[in-house]
Amino acid sequence: MNSKFLESGHIKLYKRENSKYWQMKIKLPKQKAIRSSTGSKILKESEKIALKYFSSLSIENKFQINKRSKNIYKKIHLVETTDLNKKEIEFFLNEARKFISFNKKRIKKNNILEGRTIFNLFFEDSTRTRTSFEVAAKRLGADLINVAVKDSSINKGETLLDTMTTINSLNPDVLIVRHPEEGISKRISINVDACVINAGDGSHEHPTQALLDALTIKNRFKNFSKLQIAICGDILHSRVARSNIIILSKLGAKINVIGPKEWLPKNIKKLPVTVFTDMKKGLKDCDIVMMLRIQKERIVGKIIPNQNIYFNKYGLDYNKLKYAKKNAFVMHPGPMNRGVEIDSKLADDVTRSLIQEQVAMGVAIRMACLDILIKNRDNVLKY
């Protein structure tokens, strides 16, 4: 039999005796292998077909559209992952399932949030979070207003809380807030009637990123309790690391954090993680390797290491990935610095990298968050 494994080992292409067509065998961890003909006699073409099938499979096939399960999360804000228990996290992930399929439809429009007003208030740059909240809101029929903070009255000396109470007077349903100040979303949530979602507050938390990362992992592994996950790089300044440590450990995964000593938080020993400064040791037996961006905007008054030296020691490439489990997957919340935290080819290798899938899961999770919080608020206000 003529056969070839694609790079990750998840996909095998083979030809049966007396057949001119390439067959594909796709094997995801702890799941039954899928075998099918690629319908092509040409190896290169078969590779493309198998890779395309592999990518779509991970998003579509693993979930079925469920009815809404019993509401486990009763709060109207989502500002800190420390507020979430395991059952509540699972509720968010389960509710996001139906939106994964919905987002693959040709017509992506529903009216469950019709007439609702949602504000995107981003005081820091964003591509993924801001646009995915906008897409999520619009697909559910809500009106979303992007406030151009750079052109707002903040520039005339208005305080942030005054801006928020002004917007609150417009009767919004949800305020989505990204701001460099730690804890600001919580403060805002106490001062407004709308639901508040923390879309990143300084180095503190980014709850919806951690939820979408958990959903991406659940797509592949289902059971978190047997997983070993490495979070690597600038842990100290990363809100993504902090929220992921809390969410993934509550779901039962074991977490290794790996990074330069000066980029490990002082309280790291109090977190449910094992700490490494060496990639070889830290990646051993890991199923997932989550890379982090160097948060240059938060490293004030300190020296940032030379990019080549950093990449040699802490950047992820195919060689360092071999320290992890054989078929380990790679994640990165984005934006990526190619050649600094991660090798460019590895980042684009869909058999190893879940980076684009993370973006897709971001929309599904944010649809679920908007739906859950707005319904909870309706219950509180007895609408």
* Minimum distance, C-beta of residue 51 to ligand CP, in the bound complex (Å): 25
State the minimum distance, in angstroms, from the CB of residue 122 to ligand CP. 8
Segment 206-235, which members bind ligand CP (CB under 6 A)?
Answer: 209
Query: Angle formed by the axes of helices 128-139 and 355-381, to 10°?
Result: 50
Site for ligand CP in 151-210 (CB under 6 A): 200, 209
Task: Report, in Å, the least distance between residue 120 CB and ligand CP.
Answer: 11
Cβ proximity to ligand CP: between 12 and 128 the closer is 128
Given the rule CB under 6 A, which of 7-15, 245-253, 327-335, 368-376 is the region that contacts ligand CP? 327-335
Which residue, 189, 227, 221, is CA-closest to 205? Answer: 189
Burial class (CB in 10 A: 0-12, 13-18, 19+), 298: middle
* Residues in 330-359 at the binding interface with ligand CP, rule: CB under 6 A: 333-335
- Closer CB to ligand CP, 200 or 282, in the complex: 200
Which tokens sit at 254? 């074991």
Alpha-carbon distances, residue 240 vs 28, 81, 190 (angstroms): 26, 11, 24
Stretch that binds ligand CP, among 96-104, 124-132, 159-167, 347-355 (CB under 6 A): 124-132
Residues 126-145, one symbol each (x = binds ligand CP by CB under 6 A, - = not), give xxxx----------------
Pairing of strands 288-291, 329-331: parallel
The beta strands (E) that lie in the chain are given as 2-5, 11-15, 22-26, 34-37, 117-122, 143-147, 174-179, 195-201, 228-232, 254-258, 273-276, 288-291, 329-331
Q: Does 243 engage in binding with ligand CP (CB under 6 A)? A: no
* Residue 68 per-residue DSSP state: P
Nearer to ligand CP, 50 or 79 (CB): 79
Where does this chain touch ligand CP (CB under 6 A) — which range of 109-117, 123-131, 300-308, 319-327? 123-131
**CA 374 – CA 77 distance, rounded (Å):** 9
Task: By CB under 6 A, tell whether 295 contacts ligand CP.
Answer: no
User: Footprint of ligand CP on this chain (CB under 6 A)?
Assistant: 126-129, 200, 209, 333-335
